[in-house]
Structure 1
Amino acid sequence: MGSITVSNLGKAYKLYPNRWARLLEWLLPFRPARHRLKWILRDICFQVQPGEAVGLIGINGAGKSTLLKLITGTTQPSTGSVYMEGTVAALLELGMGFHPDFTGRQNVYMAGQLIGLSVEQITALMPDIEAFAEIGDYMDQPVRVYSSGMQMRVAFAVATARRPDILIVDEALSVGDTYFQHKSFERIRQYRRAGTTLLLVSHDKQAIQSVCDRAILLDGGQLAREGAPEEIMDYYNALIAERENSTLRLSQRDDGKLQVTSGTGEATVAEIALLNQAGEAVEVIDVGQQVTLRVTVAVHAPIPRMVLGYMIKDRLGQAMYGTNTHLKELPLEDMQAGQRVTYDFTFAANLGAGSYSVATAIVSTATHLVNNYEWRDLALVFTVVNMQRPHFEGSAWLDPAIEIIRS
C-alpha cells in the first residue's frame, strides 16, 4: 500500500531583467541578488492515505503539473518535502521519455526500466502491453509517426503494466479516444479495488467524482480547498463564475453538506420544491413517479433576457439530466425589478434508487459564463426509492420490452 505526504512544498524560479544580470550574479556571488523570485507553488501541504484516490483540479496555470513533477521527483522543490511510500507509476507529460526515432517497442523497454522494471520483466509483460495499447503493427514503427492518442496508449500501457502501490496520472488521458479513455479508467478502478493509491489530475468532472474519494483545488499556486469531490467541483465551477465579476458564497445545509452559491444577484431563486401529482411538496419519490420541479425566481434588477436552468445530480455529483429555458426556446425578455416568476418542470422521475440533488442557474444564455445572475448547488435534495418496480441496477429506469425468438 502506498502513501504520499506533502509538507510545506514550494517552487520558485529566478527571473532576471536581462541575460547580463544572470552573468553578473554568477560572477559576483557575494553581491546583492540581481533576480526576483516567481513563486509557482507555495506552502502546499496534504496527505494521500494508502488506498485513497485523490483528484487534483484547478484552472490552467494553477500549478498542478508543477506539483506532480515535484511529487515524482522530476523537479526539485525550493521549499518543503515530499515523502512517498511504495512503488510509483506516473503518467505525466505525453510521451515523456519517448525517443521519436525509436520504435514503440524500443521505447517500451526504455520507459519500463525508468519505472524500475528489469528487461526480463518487460519482455514477460510485452504481450499484455501490446494487447492493452492496441496499436497493432505500429508497435514496431518509429514513435515520430504516432498520433498523440497512440503515444498515450503506449505510455499508459507501460505505466500500468504492473499494478503499482501509487499511480499518478496527469491530463494525458484527455487526448485519447473515448473507447480508450473508458478502458484506461476501468484499469484505474481495477487497481483501486486492489489497493492502489491514486493521484489524478483532470478537468473532467465525471472522472473526478466517479473515481476519487477526495479532491484538492489549487488556485494561484496555493491549496485553496479540499474535501468531497462533489463539493470541490461545485466550488471550482463557482470560482470560475466568480472570475466573471460575480460573487461566491458558501453556506452549510442542515444535512451538513456545503452549499455553493455564486452570481451577481440580479435574480435569485426564492422558492424551490418537488411536488407530487396532488401538488404536495415531497422529499421521497418512487422510481418513475410523475413529479413537478417548481422554481420561483425573484427579480431584483432589470434583466434584458432571463434563462432558468436546472441539473439533477446523483450522490457523487454526476449529472443525470440538465436543461434550461434557452434550450427549450422559452427565455423571458425585459424583466423588471420586483417581478416574480414561477416555473413548473413536469417529468417522470425515471431514476434509480438513491439520493439526488438539484442545482439551479439563472443566466442570460445557455451558459453561466456570460451573465451568471445566480448559480446554486444543492438547491434541493430528494430521495428515490423503488416501491413498485422489479429490482434493477443503475441510475436510470430504462425498462425494456423483451422479445425472444427461438429457432
Structure 2
Amino acid sequence: MGTISVKQLGKAYKQYGNRWGRLAEWVLPSLGKRHRLKWVIQDINFELTAGEAVGIIGINGAGKSTLLKLITGTAQPTTGSVQITGRVAALLELGMGFHPEFSGRQNAYMAGQLLGLTVEEISTLMPEIEAFADIGEYIDQPVRVYSSGMQMRLAFSVATVRRPDVLIVDEALSVGDAWFQHKSFERIRQFRKLGTTLLIVSHDRAAIQSICDRALLLDRGHLAFQGKPEEVMDYYNALIAERDGVNIEQTTGADGRTQTSSGNGKATVTAISLENADGDPVETVNVGVPVTLRIKVRIHADLPRLVLGYLIKDRLGQHIYGTNTHHMEQPLTDLRAGEQIEYCFRFPLNLGPGSYSVTTALTSSETHLADNYEWRDLALLFLVMNMNRKPFAGTSWMEPAIEIAR
C-alpha cells in the first residue's frame, strides 16, 4: 500500500545581482555570498495514508508543479523531506521523458522501464497500452508529430497499465478530448476502489470534489488551507477574488459544514428563503414543484451597479445551476446607501432527491473577481424528496413522454 509523508518541505532558487555574481561566488567564496534565495514553496507539511485521495489547488505560480516535482524526486528540496512507500506512477509535465525523435512504441518501452517494468512485461502489456491510448498507427510514428492530446493518451496509458500503489497526476489530464478524459478518470476511480493512493493537481472543481477525500490549497508557496474538498474550493473561490479590502471568514454550523464568506461589505444579503406556491418558507420540497427563492439585500455604500447571482450545489459541492441578474439583463444601477432590495426568483425545482445548498454573490458585473461586495457559500440549505414521482436516478428530474412503436 502506498503512503506519502511530506515534512518541512521547501524549495528555493539562487538569484544573483548580475551575470558575474555566480562566477565570483564560486571562484572567491571567501568574499561571501553573492546571491539571495527566492523561495518557491516553503514549510509544506502533510501526509497521505494508504488509499487516500488528495487534491492540490491554487492559482498559477502558487507552487503546485514544484511541489509535485519534489515529491516525485525530479527536483531536490532545499529543506525538508519526502517519504513515499509503494510503487509510484507519476504524470507531471506533458510528455515529460518522451524523446521526440523516437516512436510512441519506443517511448512506451523507455517510460515503462522507468516505472520498474521489464522489457518482457512491457511487451506483454503493449496491446493493452495501445488499446487504451487509442492513437492507431501513430504508435509507430515519432512523438514529435503527436498533438498534445496524443502525448497525454500515451503517457497516461503507460503510467497506468499496471495499477500503482501511488498515482501522482499534474494538469496533464486537462489536455485532450472529453471522451479520453472520462475514460482516464474512470480508470482513476477504479484504482481508488482497489486501494491506490492518489495525489492530483487540477483546476477542475468537479474532478477534485468527485474523486478526492481531502484538498490542499497552496497560496504564494505556502499551505494556506486544507480540509474537505468543498470547504477548500469555497475558500479558494473567495481567495481569487479581488483582494484589496476583501475579508474572508469561515464559520462551522451545527451540522458540521463550513460556511465561507468574503467581500468588502458594501452590500450584503440580510435574508434568504425558499418558498412554496403559497409563499410559505420550506426546507423540504417535492421533486418538480414550483418554488420561489427570495433574497433580501441591504446596500451599505453608494453603488453604481449591482448584480445578484445565486448558485445551487449538491451535497458534494458540484454545481447544479447558477445565474445572475447580469445574464438575465436585470442589473440595478445608481443605488444609495441604506436602500433595501428584495429579489424573487421563481422556477420549477426539477432536481433529484438529495440535499442542496445555495450560494449567493453580490457584485458589480458577471463575476466576483472585481467589486466583490459579498460572496456567501451555504447561504441556504434545503432537501428535495421524491414524494409522488416515478422512481428515477440522478440530480435532475427530466421525466420523458414515451412513444413505442412495434
Structure 2 length as normaliser, TM-score? Answer: 0.98
The structural deviation recorded for 1:26 is: 1.2
> Which residue is 1:227 aligned to?
227
Separation (CA, whole Å) in 2 of partners of 1:396 and 1:3: 38
Q: Please say if residues 242 and 371 of structure 2, whose CA atoms lie closer than 8 Å, have aligned partners that are also in contact.
A: no
The structural deviation recorded for 1:260 is: 1.1
Separation (CA, whole Å) in 1 of partners of 2:374 and 2:95: 42
> Which residue is 1:140 aligned to?
140
Separation (CA, whole Å) in 2 of partners of 1:70 and 1:347: 50
Supply the AA of the counterpart residue of 1:135.
I
83-92 vs 367-376, which moves further: 367-376
Deviations 1:152-178 (A, max 9, x none): 111111111111011000001111111
Q: Please say if residues 39 and 221 of structure 1, whose CA atoms lie closer than 8 Å, have aligned partners that are also in contact.
A: yes
307-316 vs 28-37, which moves further: 28-37
| 1:46 counterpart = 2:46 | yes
The structural deviation recorded for 1:244 is: 5.3
Separation (CA, whole Å) in 2 of partners of 1:5 and 1:284: 44
> Which residue is 1:397 aligned to?
397
Structure 2 portions without partners, runs of 5+: none
> Which residue is 2:251 aligned to?
251
Separation (CA, whole Å) in 2 of partners of 1:242 and 1:329: 24
> Which residue is 1:380 aligned to?
380
The structural deviation recorded for 1:404 is: 2.2
> Which residue is 1:348 aligned to?
348
Supply the AA of the counterpart residue of 1:258.
T
The structural deviation recorded for 1:396 is: 1.1
The structural deviation recorded for 1:278 is: 1.8
| 1:301 counterpart = 2:288 | no
Query: In structure 1, the residue corresponding to 2:33 is in which secondary structure?
Result: coil
Count of residues in correspondence between the two structures: 406
Separation (CA, whole Å) in 2 of partners of 1:350 and 1:118: 54
- Counterparts of residues 91-110 of structure 1 (less than 5 Å): 91-110=91-110
Separation (CA, whole Å) in 2 of partners of 1:8 and 1:289: 54
Q: Please say if residues 244 and 369 of structure 1, whose CA atoms lie closer than 8 Å, have aligned partners that are also in contact.
A: no
Separation (CA, whole Å) in 1 of partners of 2:28 and 2:305: 64
Query: In structure 2, the residue corresponding to 1:190 is in which secondary structure?
Result: helix
Supply the AA of the counterpart residue of 1:27.
V
Separation (CA, whole Å) in 1 of partners of 2:405 and 2:122: 49
> Which residue is 1:217 aligned to?
217
Separation (CA, whole Å) in 2 of partners of 1:355 and 1:104: 47
Deviations 1:309-363 (A, max 9, x none): 1000001111000011111111111111111111111111111111111000111
Separation (CA, whole Å) in 1 of partners of 2:100 and 2:52: 35
Supply the AA of the counterpart residue of 2:56.
L
Change (3 A) 1:154 1:245: farther
> Which residue is 1:32 aligned to?
32
The structural deviation recorded for 1:22 is: 1.0
Return structure 1 stretches of 4+ with deviation > 4 angstroms: none
Deviations 1:253-296 (A, max 9, x none): 23222211111211110100111112111111111122111000
Supply the AA of the counterpart residue of 2:402.
I
Separation (CA, whole Å) in 2 of partners of 1:392 and 1:30: 77
> Which residue is 1:72 aligned to?
72
Separation (CA, whole Å) in 2 of partners of 1:284 and 1:136: 53
- Counterparts of residues 151-166 of structure 1 (less than 5 Å): 151-166=151-166
Query: In structure 1, the residue corresponding to 2:20 is in which secondary structure?
Result: helix
Supply the RMSD in Å over aligned alpha carbons: 1.1
Supply the AA of the counterpart residue of 1:252.
T
The structural deviation recorded for 1:243 is: 2.5
> Which residue is 1:90 aligned to?
90
- Counterparts of residues 199-210 of structure 1 (less than 5 Å): 199-210=199-210
Q: Please say if residues 242 and 248 of structure 1, whose CA atoms lie closer than 8 Å, have aligned partners that are also in contact.
A: no
Percent same amino acid among aligned pairs?
67
Q: Please say if residues 2 and 49 of structure 1, whose CA atoms lie closer than 8 Å, have aligned partners that are also in contact.
A: yes
Separation (CA, whole Å) in 2 of partners of 1:209 and 1:273: 26
92-101 vs 18-27, which moves further: 18-27
The structural deviation recorded for 1:98 is: 0.4
Supply the AA of the counterpart residue of 1:16.
Y
124-133 vs 67-76, which moves further: 124-133
